[in-house]
Amino acid sequence: MTLFINGQPVEIAEGTTVAAALMQAGATRLSVDGEPRAPVCGMGVCFECAARVDGVWTLRTCLVRCAEGMEVETR
Ligand code: FES
């Protein structure tokens, strides 16, 4: 399936979490200090994987499965 990460199309296997898709694409969110951040726990506790998914901010992407045409923003 195809989703869009920061406007770029990314091909991803069905059943993949958005956090895994972000890592596969090499896309990271930035901290308020501009430091790159990446998923840590993979189970919804740390919020390090937070991103905007289909217009909704601060979703923990390790808990969200990719869907066709989904739009993900990390900044
Ligand atoms: S990786 Fe920790 S909440 Fe998603």
Please give the pLDDT value at position 55: 97
Question: Whose CA is closest to 59, among 8, 18, 22?
Answer: 18
Write down the pLDDT at residue 52: 96
pTM of the model: 0.92
pLDDT for res 18: 97
pLDDT of amino acid 2: 97
The CATH fold assigned to 2-73 is Ubiquitin-like (UB roll) (3.10.20)
Counting atoms of ligand 1 from 1, which one is nearest the CA of 39?
Answer: 1
38 lines ligand 1 (CB under 6 A): no
3 CB near ligand 1 (under 6 Å): no
Per domain, the residue ranges of the chain are 2-73
> What are the average pLDDT values for consecutive 10-residue runs of the chain, which has 75 residues?
96 97 91 90 96 96 98 92
Q: Residues 6 or more apart from 32 whose CB is under 8 A from it?
A: none
pLDDT for residue 31: 85
